[in-house]
Amino acid sequence: MSDITESPALQALVADGTLDDAVAAAVDTPRAATEGDAMGGERQPIRPSVLKAAQLARDAEAHARDRQHVKGKLTARERLDLLLDTGTFEEIGRFSGGDINAGHAGAAVITGFGEVHGRRVAVYAQDFSVRGGTLGVAEGRKICRLMDQALTLRIPIVALIDSGGARIQEGVAALTQYGRIFRKTCDASGAVPQISLILGPCAGGAVYCPALTDLIVMTRENSNMFVTGPDVIKAATGESISMDDLGGGAVHSTMSGVAHYLGADEADAIDYARTVLAYLPSNADEQPPTYMYMATRADREVARRLASIVPDNDRQPYDVLDVIRCVVDYGEFVQVHELFAPSAVVGFACIDGHPVGIVANQPNVNAGGLDVDSSEKVARFVRLCDAFNLPVVTLVDTPGYKPGAEQEHAGIIRRGAKVIYAYANAQVPLVTIVLRKAYGGAYIVMGSKSIGADLNYAWPAAQIAVLGATGAVNIIHRKDLQKAKDAGADVDAVRAKYAAEYERTTVNANLSMETGQIDAMIDPEQTRDTLIEGLRLLRGKRRARRAGRHHGNQPL
């Protein structure tokens, strides 16, 4: 850290416990406490103001540890140490917003730059030990200045949130700073990656700062987000509810979908943010980082496992994560929204050393059908990948959209359309593989050729149709089945005969290949090699500017 408080002379005073004595001497005799006194008279005097600043910095961190550790929380600087590569943090405006002579160390937020996996990032960490981490004019200016610099440098922005919200004492001036942060967050959206870690309270208008960012990470304990708190709710509605039940990490990771990851503790949450940054480029104009990968004999053994993962019975569930781990490098897959809308799976992985986004239906949950929540989950992730140049690999096994009045009333039309908009507007490489079922509208929206995918493949047992065989037969041969019933024939046998004929002529992937909607049929064990070759072919794909409009009107 490049800071006067970290100079060797001051560190020597801190190490031998004489800093307080030096400060006291400086107050009594301004030129008495000198670096020459501490270092044998070899250097220039340390100014009293510098000694006072160093004492304030030391005492502020000691105060923060006393306040945070008893709650099971880390201090803002301890969090930065976990997030950033060792020794890379460069703080900006350490004492900005403070009053050194009056004994105030600075604002309730720490801002600066550091490195994650050797790449530069901008960070700000709210300090709950200073005025409850509340945001006032000084804090807003520090954050906005950091964001301006991050956009100029084209580097990611990571926010560590632990705040009581707007500083009431500063009134509308504090609220104005939130408005400025909102605007700058929107300016940065899609330009540089933005990650928010909620490591304490985040309430009121403050929740919209992280809500506008790309990813939100929360912790199981101490982490809360809500627009109106329990006290306000009780006063307004009479409902009693705890902070955790209202807006804790578990609630937002499983029910609302606000949080993209639930950390077991602060260290786990911060490690997840570091991991995600390893897959993303520094900005939208760069390609994601690449990593060395050496194929081994184990790859062939893993590939052979694919043939036995998906059951022949199209109604039998399986875990699509087993498929994903067989096609990505080292079986490493970083899920996003793991606990929310589990009928769809999305996340980051590498294929042949190149980061990609994976989207898949999960047959283990509701047969992999799309509903309102999984539709938004998929759409948001595809948009994220498209913003930051990550190819999207889609693994399809879905019977369609989830039926029912509940889904219709929840807006399956409006919210399901978001998947269409995301895929249709994506300009990164899109590769889709139909593993088993792909029926109706869900087949179209899940990265089909007609919606814009570049390469589409199918496994031999793939079933692609408007409806499954049984459902289609019940409609197409309704009169024939009624006649068989009236004649006393075995209706189930007749239905099975028609279903077998429908599967032979319509449901299998042959018709899709004949019409060019599927480029090739592949054996399951060819999947990884096919993806490697397909993504290598598409590596030169670049965005094309859409002319003639300001922007589209995405269903929201």
Q: Exactly one of 204, 247, 263, 369 is catalytic; which is it?
A: 204
Residue linked to tokens 């239906």 = 361
Residue with tokens 């994220």: 384
Nearest to 323 by CA among 363, 292, 354, 356: 363
Could you please report the per-residue DSSP string of 16-79? TT-HHHHHHHHHHSTTTS-HHHHHTS-SPPPPHHHHHHHHHHHHHHHHHHHHHHTTT---HHHH
Tokens standing for residue 549: 């409009």
Which listed residue (36, 132, 190, 205) is catalytic?
A: 205
**Intra-chain end-to-end CA distance of the chain, in Å:** 44
Catalytic residue among 36, 331, 441, 471: 441
Amino acid (1-letter code) at residue 543: R
3-state secondary structure 305-351: HHHHHCCCCCCCCCCHHHHHHHHCHHHCCEEECCCCCCCEEEEEEEE
Residues recorded for the chain: 556
Token code pair at residue 24 = 């006291």
Listed in sequence order, the residues at least 6 apart from 114 whose beta carbon sits closer than 8 Å to its beta carbon are 80, 83, 84, 85, 88, 89, 90, 120, 121, 123
Locate 265 and state its tokens: 């503790």
| Residue from 387, 442, 484, 509 carrying the catalytic annotation | 442
Q: How far apart are CA 432 and CA 434, in angstroms?
A: 7
Residue 268 burial (C-beta neighbours within 10 Å; 0-12, 13-18, 19+) = middle
Q: SS3 of 116, please? A: strand
CA atoms lying within 13 Å on the CB side of residue 271: 8
CA distances (Å), origin 370, targets 288, 356, 361: 29, 22, 8
Question: 441 catalytic, yes or no?
Answer: yes
In 3D space, the residue among 281, 362, 380, 377 whose CA is nearest the CA of residue 323 turns out to be 362
Residue type, 495: R
Alpha-carbon distances, residue 150 vs 137, 184, 233, 274, 495 (angstroms): 20, 11, 38, 18, 64
Phi/psi at 59 (5° precision): -70, -35
Task: State whether residue 396 is helix, strand or coil.
Answer: strand
HEC string of 425-467 equals HCCCCEEEEEEEEEEHHHHHHCCCHHHCCCEEEECCCCEEECC
Q: Which pair of tokens denotes residue 392?
A: 């999207």
Which positions are annotated as active-site residues? 204-205, 441-442
